[in-house]
Amino acid sequence: MASTTTMNLSVGSTSCRSQTGLVGKYNQLGLIKAPSSLKSFSGLKATSSIGIELEMSFLGKESSSLLWASCFPKHKSTQRPRNWLLPQACTFKVAVLGAGGGIGQPLGLLIKMSPLISAIHLYDIANVKGIAADLSHCNTPSEVLDFTGPSELPSCLRGIDVVIIPAGVPRKPGMTRDDLFNINANIVKELVETVADNCPHAFILIISNPVNSTVPIAAEVLKQKGVYNPKKLFGVTTLDVVRANTFVARKKNLKLINVDVPVIGGHAGITILPLLSKTRPSVTFTDEEVQELTVRIQNAGTEVVEAKAGAGSATLSMAYAAARFVESSLRALDGDGDVFECSFVQSELTDLPFFASRVKLGRNGVEAFVGSDLQGLTEYEVKALEALKPELKASIEKGVAFVEKQRAAAATAAST
Ligand SMILES: NC(=O)c1ccc[n+]([C@@H]2O[C@H](COP(=O)([O-])OP(=O)(O)OC[C@H]3O[C@@H](n4cnc5c(N)ncnc54)[C@H](O)[C@@H]3O)[C@@H](O)[C@H]2O)c1
């Protein structure tokens, strides 16, 4: 990661900036005048893109006004620029691997609303023909293609810009994310091998748990294939941020759309560390509130698993969070110079080889790390950060060891 810098920024992933990729594109073309308060998906920026598309395509006037108001609270609907309704430039191809599942299906629907996507490739070992047919009837610009089974995976992946992997099994009550390792490790390994062969330059977004191990597995596979680019491999931890934003906004009675809590570390139990002291807008918490919120954010996945009582884990909120990360990736690829997200990536911010933190995304993936988030932590956060390291380290090493063991076994089998 030699050319990736650590930035001491004090910005939030939902902070307002003057242009989105989409807006930037139209500005360059002299076609669009952006409102000054565009924000991001949870946030606002990506919602702006989706809002525009919805406006153009399938929402009636009344609902689009409401949507507009919720996306751009500072702009009354009468103030919208006239030229928002221009045709979109849909440039990017996105593949969802595990598209038939609880996350894959709503994720397909959400990204179908993106004006930046020209094609969505749905892949699963289960038949996704019907899902693709269903989705393809939505009158948004992207075409939807289905691919079923390993023999169709290479053609699914050729020419793809962003690959999202929610394939695998979810948790049942009483299980930890690590309990999924034996099944999901192999699934991720095999899928990433085919990604490496067919679209090695794509952004790869790993959702399959345990993310703390599946991302290192993907990295090792890509290394073995000679195509590893650490800037383009992401563990999707956006759901932790989405949850933190929601719980904090409710607790402190804040306007949800403005709240941004960076969540660092990893994506399992105590490795999930919300930095409440870095919440924007600035807000104070009692020690009890910090303890209660931190534990709730760390256990939010289990909350859903238990409520679903055997029917799976978080799917809808996960699809929402993944769609936000996809939209951020596309805006970065589209040249938006102002995209920040938390993600579990190869990192030098701590002594661990992978670590979730806020990163700046650009055309080539991770452009910088927001190192300032780790400075000036509270005593509680410092202790929690030290406490999470052994577990996170072990999960990372488990992923690396898995690929190494498979490689050694394959070498032995080949030599006998
Ligand atoms: N990163 C996060 O924050 C987060 C949050 C929630 C769930 N998850 C994880 O996401 C994964 C998927 O969860 P879900 O609820 O969608 O599960 P699901 O069982 O509903 O769907 C998984 C899909 O993957 C498919 N699949 C299985 N093996 C495959 C393979 N080799 N190739 C392609 N597709 C394959 C299945 O056919 C199924 O359609 C789980 O591992 C879960 O733990 C991650």
If one compares 17 and 368, the residue with the highest pLDDT of the two is 368
Q: Does residue 43 surpass a pLDDT of 60? A: no
CA nearest ligand 1 atom 18, residue: 101
Full-prediction pTM beyond 0.75?
yes
> Which ranges in 225-351 belong to alpha helices (H)?
238-252, 287-308, 316-333
Q: What is the rounded CA–CA span in Å between residue 178 and residue 96?
A: 23
Distance of CA 86 from the midpoint of ligand 1 (Å) = 37
**pLDDT average, residue stretch 389-406:** 97
pLDDT tens, 287-334? 999 999 999 999 999 999 999 999 999 999 999 999 999 999 999 999
Q: Please, what are the domains in the chain? A: 92-236 (3.40.50.720), 238-395 (3.90.110.10)
Q: Is 318 in the pocket of ligand 1 (CB under 6 A)?
A: yes
Q: Is 121 a catalytic residue?
A: no
Q: Is 315 in the pocket of ligand 1 (CB under 6 A)?
A: yes
Distance of CA 328 from the midpoint of ligand 1 (Å) = 22
If one compares 50 and 206, the residue with the highest pLDDT of the two is 206
Per-residue CA distances from 57 to 90, 103, 107, 269, 323 (Å): 14, 24, 19, 41, 19
R_g of the chain, CA atoms, integer Å: 21
**pLDDT band at residue 4 using 50, 70 and 90 as cut-offs:** low
pLDDT tens, 136-154? 999 999 999 999 999 999 9
Contact present, 361 and 367 (Cβ < 8 Å):
yes
